[in-house]
Copies of this chain bind each other. A is one copy, B any other.
Amino acid sequence: MRIGELSGRSGVSVATIKYYLREGLLPAGTATAANQAVYGDAHLRRLRLIRALVDVGGLSVAGAREVLAAVDDDDLPLHELLGVAHKAVTRPAAPDSDDAAWQAARAEVEELVRRRGWRVEPGSPSLDRATDAVRAMRALGQEDLLGCLSTYADAAEQVAARELDAVLARADPARMVEGVVTGTVLGEALLTALRLLAQQDASARRAQS
């Protein structure tokens, strides 16, 4: 198929496909002439994956590129692929991530991790983002919300265990790789949407009674 058909079948404009090609998110088609190339099903699937990561998962184009590069790297262990996916879904650091209040919040997060026995890389960006959130709650005088911390941790543990099981249940290693990425990115979108729905329900119940 040529670029026009790829565009039609994926719903992505030709100009945008060219942009993704330039940016290295989509591999080039196989050239048949100086200004002709054909694309296959793999390109169509890749394009759908890109749109899912960007539109549903909220990844930046740069983040999606890194994830896709990791997916394409056959030598990369699953565990490291997970790290790449995590980095891509994680928002950049808050600007003031270094003062005393932040260090205190960081100690609190590390204590939680230690108590749970979670094996976590000390430099993980997720540790930093959790710290940002704890610090912000304290800075805003909302420390009582930290009473939810263990509920969050329980939920995170259950969800993560279930997700890992689902992905590792797959026979084909290539499908495991896809599963790690889609599970991380789309799973986050799904879980946060469901949390809001459940909040809506809880709020409706409390208001009524």
Contact = CB atoms under 8 A, between A and B. Distances in A.
A118 B197 contact: yes
**Chain A interface residue count: which class?**
35 or more
Contacts of A148: 159, 162-163, 166, 183, 187
A18 interface: no
A90 B206 contact: no
A118 B193 CA distance: 13
Q: Is the interface of A mostly helix, strand, loop or mixed?
A: helix
Contacts of A49: 140
A147 B207 CA distance: 32
Contact of A197 (B124, B163, B168, B183): B124
Nearest to A149: B190
A61 interface: no
Contacts of A206: 164, 168
Contacts of A79: 203-204, 207
Assembly stoichiometry (copies): 2
Interface string A136-158: 11011010110111011111111
Contacts of A95: 11, 55
B194 A166 contact: no
A192 B58 CA distance: 14
Interface string A89-129: 11100111000000000000000010011111100101101
Given A151-B159, A155-B155, A188-B192, 16 more contacts: A11-B95, A48-B140, A52-B136, A56-B129, A56-B136, A82-B203, A89-B196, A90-B196, A117-B201, A119-B204, A127-B197, A152-B190, A153-B198, A156-B195, A159-B195, A191-B192
Closest 10 CB pairs of A and B: A160-B198, A130-B193, A155-B155, A156-B194, A118-B201, A55-B94, A133-B190, A126-B196, A52-B136, A156-B198
